[in-house]
Amino acid sequence: MGNFVTAMKASELAEGSMSAVDLEGKHILVAKIGGEVSAVSGTCTHEETDLGLGFVMEDRIVCPLHLSQFDLKTGQVMNPPATAPLQRFNVKIEGDTIFVEV
């Protein structure tokens, strides 16, 4: 079990958006989809591209390199060429602060 570390202020994360953060050596995407905040690895499992450079489409992050899509809530691959899911991280919110377990 990891430690919860401060990722960002909840007020800085708009509905339907994501933000890339680096926490304790891990590149992580924090997203707010359907009112729920989630966190997944920010590196594409196909070619190790920075997903923070990608774009949000509905509830998915689209990789800027080969257009693989991943569910921002679960990390599951939604289309190739990626085949492995993104790592998912536990999230908690206290007041206006989002914490991610790393």
Q: Residue 35 maps to which CATH number?
A: 2.102.10.10
**Are 52 and 42 spatial neighbours (Cβ–Cβ below 8 Å)?**
yes
Compute mean pLDDT per 10 residues along the chain, 102 residues long, and list them: 94 96 97 97 96 96 97 96 98 98 97
Parent domain of 93:
4-101
**Are 102 and 19 spatial neighbours (Cβ–Cβ below 8 Å)?**
no
pLDDT at 84: 98
In angstroms, the CA 85 to CA 74 distance is 8
In angstroms, the CA 60 to CA 50 distance is 15
What pTM was computed for the model? 0.94
Domain count, the chain: 1
Structure tokens at 85: 């899911």
In angstroms, the CA 85 to CA 73 distance is 11
pLDDT at 80: 95
